[in-house]
A and B are shown apart, each in its own frame.
Chain A
Amino acid sequence: MIGQAVQVLVDAVSVGGLYALTALGIGLIFGVMRLINFAHAQLIMIAGYAVLLFFAQSAVLAVLGAVAGAVLLALVVERMAFRPLRGADPATLLIASFAVSFLIEKMMIMLVGSRPKGVDFLPMLAGQVEIAGVRLQLLQLVTILVSVVLLVATTWFLKSTRLGLEMRAAAENFRMAEVLGIRANRVIASAFAISGLLAAAVACLFVAQTGLVQPRMGLQLVIIAFVGTVIGGLGSLPGAAFGGFLVGVATILLEALLPPELRVFREAFLFVGVAVVLIFRPQGLIPARGLAGRI
């Protein structure tokens, strides 16, 4: 019984970690541009296809390919689609993000077709390990480890580096940041590159877990993670990571705890929970400090 509970908990934390990484990528871009970037799904998707392309050669090459693909696409999308719209109202940016998302998805379907493709990525992680009498999947432990490392690394980057400091300032009040001499193009492009890196990590772990790559693979992750950024607090990076984690954990716990006949309504229960959180904390669980004071 305890073993089963620990397994569910590890599963929940591992899925929560994936959503936290996805939400952090979305939150970072929202922070610096006030853009809800639904094209983040296509960064995950392109990284997934990079894994498909290279996994047969080597796992390291597949991971590097995924990072290169997602970062490159993120930078191209920023330069071609979002930079010309900088300063546009949030509704325009939102529509543009949907347009970019659909465009990339449909182009990918034209190129490779819409059928899922099987990928046996990182098969060495398919085994189980026994810790204190509880058998746990190695891949889930690796997912938790990678998520923690990336969340800590991103936090360290934002706290301790020059670019991170500029990024936090720009995320809070972009116009004031410019007054102080912060280079908008560099900060925004860097944020997109980091969001690409996070998307690549999510794609590698997701592909290893599901063994599938398909053009719509990032969509579900991004929608749920976006919900996480909202309940965490739009514009707050700790809020985004925490909200994403919470939503991921809730998804798995609902799956485990709901009676079998109610499990098909898992998302409905999840969104009722989200609605309740937003009724009592409309600004999110860890609201952004500077959002109201933007000029």
Chain B
Amino acid sequence: MKLAAERVSVRFGGLVANDDVSLAIAPGEVLGLIGPNGAGKTTLVNMLSGFQRPHSGAITLAGSDMTGHRPRAFARAGIVRSFQAVRLFRGLTVSENVEVGLVACGLGRAAARRRVRALLADFDLLRRAAQPASSLSYGEERRAGLARALALEPRFLLLDEPAAGLAAAEAEDLKRAILSIRDRYGCGILVIEHNMALVMSLCDRIHVLGGGKTIASGRPDEIMADPAVRTAYLGRAAA
């Protein structure tokens, strides 16, 4: 059971956002996706969640072709993503934000509410349950976003810059939360992140993109030592 991009390419006019990129996430694995700005990371996550159709190549889940399916089909197959900015429904309460995905997937409201309370308790948000999402602090919003994604019991969780804007201590909390999610739910987690210290200490494997192509893929220590990665990040002279 793997979620995989198989030799995918995407072009926007003359710009090649992804060029023959292959990547696979296994259940229980935390995979880091890194690269300089414009490397094509978000485009790849867009393809892995149904928001972008590849111009060539395929997206597969457990070997079956998901290419061209809508985001809802990906969500129902257990592939849930977050966005760079947290996208809570600000007019809904915190509890309703977590509940909405559950009821959309067919759970009754009473059962959904029980599950929501358990999730909010896990993320220390229970006392905020009845308040509008617009009243949350930035850190609380991030936690509520994770609770909402986890409500769907994802098999794969795709997180786009989850630590953006967080202080060092909050990033450390986030790392613990991600590892706890992996251990408790057994889901495969893909993390796009610019915080290198976080990526190196969090991820089992790292995939590096540069100019839309795969530069390197391997364990964090292998990636740290890879000259091609150092060149992409620091320039040729530094490497």
Contact = CB atoms under 8 A, between A and B. Distances in A.
Interface of A: 162, 165-166, 168-169, 172-173, 175-184, 288-290, 293, 295
A60 B199 CA distance: 67
Nearest to B84: A295
27 contacts: A162-B109, A165-B92, A166-B100, A166-B103, A168-B92, A168-B96, A169-B92, A169-B96, A169-B100, A172-B92, A173-B87, A175-B71, A176-B89, A177-B104, A178-B75, A179-B75, A180-B75, A180-B104, A181-B75, A181-B101, A182-B72, A182-B100, A182-B104, A288-B91, A289-B134, A290-B89, A295-B87
Interface of B: 49, 70-72, 75-76, 80-81, 83, 85, 87, 89-92, 96, 99-101, 103-105, 108-109, 132, 134, 148, 152
Contact of B85 (A175, A288, A293): A293
Contacts, number: 76
A151 to B, nearest CB: 18
A183 B92 contact: no
B109 A181 contact: no
B94 to A, nearest CB: 13
B37 to A, nearest CB: 19
B104 A181 contact: yes
Contacts of B108: 162
Given A165-B99, A165-B100, A181 B76 contact: yes
Give the 5 A-B CB pairs with smallest separation, nearest first: A180-B101, A181-B75, A289-B90, A289-B91, A182-B104
A295 B108 CA distance: 28
A160 to B, nearest CB: 8
B104 A183 contact: yes
A179 B100 contact: no
A48 to B, nearest CB: 34
Contacts of B100: 165-166, 169, 177, 180, 182
A290 B72 contact: no
A172 B80 CA distance: 19
Contact of A178 (B70, B99, B132, B134): B70
Interface of A is mostly: helix
B89 to A, nearest CB: 5
A172 B76 CA distance: 21
A173 B104 contact: no
B72 A176 contact: no
B72 A172 contact: no
Contacts of B87: 173, 176, 293, 295
Give the residue among A175, A179, A184 with the most B Cβ atoms within 10 A. Answer: A179
A182 B104 CA distance: 5
A287 to B, nearest CB: 10
Nearest to B86: A293
Contacts of B92: 165, 168-169, 172
Give the residue among B71, B134, B148 with the most A Cβ atoms within 10 A. Answer: B71
Contact of A172 (B89, B104, B109): B89
Contacts of B96: 165, 168-169
Nearest to B79: A179
A172 B90 contact: yes
A162 B107 CA distance: 9
